[in-house]
Amino acid sequence: MAIRYYKPTTPGQRGMTTQDMSSISPKTKPTKKLRSVKTKRSGRNNQGRITTRHRGGGVKSFYRNVTFNLPADTKAKIVAIEYDPNRSARIARISDQDGNQHYILASAKMSVGDTIESGEKVDIEHGNRLPLENIPAGSIIHAIELEPNRGAQIVRSAGARAQLIAKEGDRVQIKLPSGEVRTVHKTCTASLGAVGNEQHKNIKVGKAGRNRKKGRRPTVRGVVMNAVDHPHGGGDGGSHGPGGHPMTPWGQKTLGYRTRRRKRTNKFIVRNRHESKRR
C-alpha cells in the first residue's frame, strides 16, 4: 500500500496524506450478519467515570465482528478485502467449506481468491493459522494467542509482525514488535506473515477536524494551565517545564515511571523491551 497525497485546495490539505484504498475490494459493503451496533462510551467505565481522557464525539460506525479464534480444520476462500473503521489493519471476508462467512485480519500478501487453512498440519504458507509448535523457527507471525483457545491477543495492528526465534520444552520464544522477547505455550496458535496496511504509520492527519471525526478531543498541556489545575502549571512570566518529575493532573508520576504490576506474567518475559534502549 502506498500513501496518497492531495493537491492542496485548502490549508488543511497542504500537509495531509491519506490511505491508498486500491487494495480494498471495489463495491463491497460490510455483511450485516458480521457487524453489530457500536455503543460509544466516550472513555467512561461502567460507572460513568472518565477513565480515558480526551475522547468523545466522532463519526458513527458499525463494529465488524472479527474472528480471532478461527476453528481448526477450516479451509476458506478469501471473498473480499474490506476497510475497517475500528482498527488500523484491513480485514478479509472469508467463506469456509460449510458456507459460513468470517472476518479475519488481512495479512500483507493476502488477496481475493486465495485459500487459507487453519489446523495442526496445514502448509507453511502466508495467511495460514496453526499451533506455534508446528511453525518453523525464524518465521514471521502475527495474531498470536497468549493462552490456548483464547484467540489472538497481540500483534494485530497494521504492519505489525513478530518472529518465532526458539523452542524450549512446552514453550516457544517470540520476539515482539517492541523488541520484547517472551515465552508462549507451544499449543497457542498464530497466523503466518505480517499484518497488512504497512504504511498506516506514515499517514499525516493534517488538521484537527480529522481527529475529531475519530472521536479524539483536544488535549491541553499542563505547563500552560494554572497551578490550581495541574502540577506543571503556574509560574510568573511563563514556565516551560514542571521543575521536577513529570506528573499527571492528579500528582502521580508519569513519562517513564512504572505503575503497572504484572507479577503473574513477568516470569514469561525473557528480555524486557526497555533493555535495548538502556544500552
Report whether pLDDT(274) > 90: no
- Topology of the domain comprising 19-201: SH3 type barrels. (2.30.30)
pLDDT at 240: 81
Q: SS3 for 66-135, per residue?
A: ECCCCCCCEEEEEEEEECCCCCCCCEEEEEECCCCEEEEECECCCCCCCEEEECCCCCCCCCCEEEHHHC
pLDDT at 42: 92
> Are β-strands 3-5 and 189-192 bridged in parallel, bridged antiparallel, or unpaired?
unpaired
**Do the Cβ atoms of 18 and 1 come closer than 8 Å?**
no
pLDDT at 220: 95
Write out pLDDT tens, residues 182-203: 999 999 999 999 999 999 999 9
pLDDT at 136: 95
Task: Report, as an integer, the average pLDDT of 258-275.
Answer: 84
| CATH-assigned architecture of domain 220-279 | Irregular (4.10)
pLDDT at 277: 60
Residues 6+ apart with CB under 8 A from 184: 132, 144, 145, 146, 171, 172, 174, 268
pLDDT at 189: 96
Write down the H helix ranges in the chain. Answer: 11-14, 208-213, 275-278
Closest to 152 in 3D by CA, of 195, 114, 113:
195
Write out pLDDT tens, residues 108-119: 989 999 999 999
**Do the Cβ atoms of 186 and 167 come closer than 8 Å?**
yes
Looking at residue 198, what DSSP letter applies?
Answer: G
Write out the three cell numbers for 206. Answer: 493534517
Domain ranges of the chain: 19-201, 220-279
User: Which run of H or of E encompasses 163?
Assistant: strand 162-168
Cell 487453519 appears where? 118
Measured CA to CA, the distance from residue 126 to residue 105 in angstroms comes to 12
Write out pLDDT tens, residues 21-77: 888 999 888 899 999 999 888 999 999 999 999 999 999 999 999 999 999 999 999
The residue count for the chain: 279
**pLDDT higher at 256 or 214:** 214
Query: What is the pTM for the complete model shown?
Result: 0.88
Measured CA to CA, the distance from residue 182 to residue 173 in angstroms comes to 6
Report whether pLDDT(123) > 70: yes
Task: Report, as an integer, the average pLDDT of 83-103.
Answer: 94
Write out pLDDT tens, residues 133-191: 999 999 999 999 999 999 999 999 999 999 999 999 999 999 999 999 999 999 999 99
